[in-house]
Structure 1
Amino acid sequence: MPATLGSLLADRTFGLRAVGHIDPERLDLPVSWVHNSDLPDPTPWLEPGQLLLTDGGQFLPPTSAEPDAYCIRLRERGVAGLGFATNVIHPVIPDDVIEACRRHSVPLIEVPRATPFIGIIRHVADVEAADRSARLSWTLESQRALARAAVRHDGLREILRTLSSRLGTWVALFDAAGRRLSLPGIADVPASVEAEVDEQTRMLLRKSAPASVRVAGPHAATLQTIGQAGRLRGVLAVGADTPLDSGHGDLVESVIALASISLEQQRAVSDARLRLRTGVLELLIAGRGGEAARSGAAVWGRMPSPPLLAGRVPVFSGSQSLLDELELMATAEPESLFFAEREEELVLLVSRHRLAQLGSLLAAHDTTAGFAELDRWAALGRALAEAAYAAQYAREPGSVEFAAIAEHGVMGTLRRGGGALVARRMLTPLDALPAEHRDRLVGAARAWLDANTAWDPAARALGIHRHTLRARIDELGELLDLDLSTFGARAQLWAALELAAESGAATS
């Protein structure tokens, strides 16, 4: 431990005495060096944390330093304290110096005549050297301990246990998805700071760049990302009530380097598994379900089997954190979830009971997937096409089922897909007609279509001759460029009239 004002006062060799009250926190601050000077303003040669010793010559003529101004300069410079020798120039410390130190919170220590300044200086220097030597020894032994831990079977966790033991504090490791890894035998994150550590971890990962942050509080912590910009592999959190010193910081940096190597190795394995997933999916799409099931079972133990929901994210950005969380979900229950990347999309096969959980995960990553019923592998292509269609109609991130869209029928789909706008464009030629003429043509078309395009019943309903009705329908077909002798054209006309009426267009 470095020398402090408290340790110097406690050392009877020097016979030092505190003059007035000194804040206990100031007594525990390290003294970085000891400097002696009788200059009226010694601050240009002082650094924060240093102890200044003086005989008090500056407070005598001809210099006669003003005590208040003198103490203000010392305080602003951040000195650890002022040691004033007595029975050398001054028999006692002058009262105005004592008052100035009190007013400006400069710790004041009386140094007896029998105590040479050089003795205090050498003592602090020896303590500092011994402290450096101890820190170096501690660092070397800690690095050796890390090296021994790294070659153990469970290397990553042993490294973190060593770090926790050497620092005497809790340690937590988060993966790229922001999940805390289980570390048996290591002190857990204190409840008082757990929520803040979790939130700061997510913030660091979202930035996707190397960074660190300190969490304040009764159980403070230092958080440091692991990995390179755009390829973060996780975050290491270390409990520390004060910022880490150089020795502790070097140890943490070594752990981060070793953890980064370990996580990169795990990532390589994970990437290989993702490629294997893509291969299994291609087998399923090719109709080779048996081979796909055998290949999947060899790696994951089991594969989902219909009935399932087939999901599709048509444009997938490749979010690594989402893939990591999907891997964890699939590992926990492989028979109910399978996923794979295919070109620029993400395909998901999930059991009905896991859909809500999966939807929440997708929403948390601002991702939308459509899902469709899959009752047999042979229908996978159709289900994926329906899923892609459903994804287009999602109004917010998460999951949307094709069945929810299909239950509204074809007309419902047309309504959702802007069919009213297309209908209005199709009927635009009618806008050029006088209102009365337009209403006659539209009324004739509605009666004719309601009568299943039978001429006589429609004419009777309108109270006109069937030749008159035929003439109006022919005119309408010519205006709209539709061959109303065909079923397709009649279906288009009916749909256009229905959608335009719903949109409030004047077509009746």
Structure 2
Amino acid sequence: MPPTLASLVHHSALKLTVRAGEDGLDVPVRWAHASELADPVPYMEGGELLLITALKLDAEDREAMRRYVKRLSGAGVVGLGFAVGVHYEDIPDALVDAARAEGLPLLEVPRRTPFLAISKAVSAAIAADQYRAVTAGFAAQRELTRQALTEGPEGLLAALAAQVDGWAALYDASGALVATAPEWAVRRAARLTPDVTRLRERPAPASSVVAGPENDDRVELHSSAPAGVPARRSPSVRRPPWAPPSGTRCTRRSPCSP
């Protein structure tokens, strides 16, 4: 999983202390960014842990801190790291109170912890998460290939449905339903025949994402023929709306052939 404020707080080498916003520590951190601008919002993308020493802030002015924290929260900043012992020996109460009122996590950064160490910790955690995703994708591809070679279309569909925590279906060149996994998905898959027909009319390989027959369905359709060859089979994959891309060729809008 990606780094969170909680994982940074529990990082033994950083020695961070939570001063406000304890309920928001499970939010993912996209990056750690240091800025001493009075208004860094134009340079934020959302998801950042902002690191400051308050060089250009009147951190003891309650109204100024209220506006500052509100702007950060509105920009999607997920946390604020304040280095003590630089310009302020302690985090001013005005900033602590503003962060508590806004629900923005405020982390005290000890003087012996450089901002660079925090940035490196976030970067390393992000890289590790990406590596896990890539290796999981390769493992998923190997499993799909193994199932296709040993168990045929039925085994491939069963493995694919398990990987995406949904259902999968296979259609022939006429658009007729060949197989589904699990079996209860037959009716749902059959209702997608018009969408499969439309996909077959496009040059292969092709893909599309459609709303499934049930309100919570998000279905991905893929034609499996190489470019320039009429599609003979069109797999469809249903993934629940909360599920992230699995990293397999079938669920990342690239062709999957049994």
**TM, length-normalised to structure 2:** 0.74
Q: State the alpha-carbon separation in 2 of the partners of residues 143 and 249 from structure 1.
A: 6
Do the aligned residues in 1 keep the contact of 2:134 with 2:247 (CA within 8 Å)? no
Do the aligned residues in 2 keep the contact of 1:43 with 1:74 (CA within 8 Å)? yes
Change in 2 beyond 3 A, CA 1:39/1:164: same
CA offsets 1:385-430 (integer angstroms, 9 cap, x no match): xxxxxxxxxxxxxxxxxxxxxxxxxxxxxxxxxxxxxxxxxxxxxx
Q: State the alpha-carbon separation in 2 of the partners of residues 121 and 250 from structure 1.
A: 33
**Matched residue, 2:6:** 6
**Matched residue, 1:16:** 16
**Matched residue, 1:422:** none
The equivalences for 1:57-136 within 5 A come to 57-60=55-58, 66-136=64-134
Residue 158 (str. 1) matches residue 158 (str. 2):
no
**Matched residue, 2:252:** 253
Do the aligned residues in 2 keep the contact of 1:172 with 1:188 (CA within 8 Å)? no
Q: State the alpha-carbon separation in 1 of the partners of residues 183 and 105 from structure 2.
A: 39
Report the 3-state secondary structure (helix = DSSP H, G, I; strand = E; otherwise coil) of the residue aligned with 2:252.
helix
**Matched residue, 1:241:** 242
How many residues in Structure 1 have an aligned counterpart in Structure 2?
239
**Matched residue, 1:170:** 166
Greater per-residue helix proportion? 1
**Matched residue, 1:225:** 221
**Matched residue, 1:205:** 195
Q: State the alpha-carbon separation in 2 of the partners of residues 34 and 199 from structure 1.
A: 44
Query: What 5-or-longer segments of structure 1 have no aligned partner?
Result: 263-508
**Matched residue, 2:147:** 149
Q: State the alpha-carbon separation in 1 of the partners of residues 249 and 46 from structure 2.
A: 24
- Percent sequence identity is 27
Query: What 5-or-longer segments of structure 2 have no aligned partner?
Result: 200-206, 225-230
Decide which structure has the larger Cα Rg and report it: 1
Change in 2 beyond 3 A, CA 1:136/1:234: closer
Report the 3-state secondary structure (helix = DSSP H, G, I; strand = E; otherwise coil) of the residue aligned with 2:220.
strand
Letter of the 2:238 partner, please give it: A
Q: State the alpha-carbon separation in 1 of the partners of residues 103 and 178 from structure 2.
A: 45
Q: State the alpha-carbon separation in 1 of the partners of residues 102 and 58 from structure 2.
A: 21
The equivalences for 1:350-499 within 5 A come to none
Change in 2 beyond 3 A, CA 1:165/1:149: same
Deviation of 1:165 (Å): 4.3
Change in 2 beyond 3 A, CA 1:58/1:251: farther
Letter of the 1:222 partner, please give it: R
CA offsets 1:280-316 (integer angstroms, 9 cap, x no match): xxxxxxxxxxxxxxxxxxxxxxxxxxxxxxxxxxxxx
Do the aligned residues in 1 keep the contact of 2:4 with 2:29 (CA within 8 Å)? yes
Q: State the alpha-carbon separation in 1 of the partners of residues 69 and 124 from structure 2.
A: 28
Letter of the 2:5 partner, please give it: L
Change in 2 beyond 3 A, CA 1:13/1:180: farther
**Matched residue, 2:228:** none
Deviation of 1:117 (Å): 1.2
Deviation of 1:83 (Å): 0.9
Change in 2 beyond 3 A, CA 1:235/1:144: closer
CA offsets 1:455-475 (integer angstroms, 9 cap, x no match): xxxxxxxxxxxxxxxxxxxxx
Letter of the 1:58 partner, please give it: K
CA offsets 1:175-212 (integer angstroms, 9 cap, x no match): 446x69443xx5966xxxx99xx399549728935531
The equivalences for 1:281-360 within 5 A come to none
Do the aligned residues in 1 keep the contact of 2:167 with 2:180 (CA within 8 Å)? no
Q: State the alpha-carbon separation in 2 of the partners of residues 144 and 32 from structure 1.
A: 30
Report the 3-state secondary structure (helix = DSSP H, G, I; strand = E; otherwise coil) of the residue aligned with 1:142.
helix
Report the 3-state secondary structure (helix = DSSP H, G, I; strand = E; otherwise coil) of the residue aligned with 1:12.
coil
Q: State the alpha-carbon separation in 1 of the partners of residues 74 and 222 from structure 2.
A: 39
Report the 3-state secondary structure (helix = DSSP H, G, I; strand = E; otherwise coil) of the residue aligned with 2:86.
coil
Do the aligned residues in 2 keep the contact of 1:40 with 1:65 (CA within 8 Å)? no
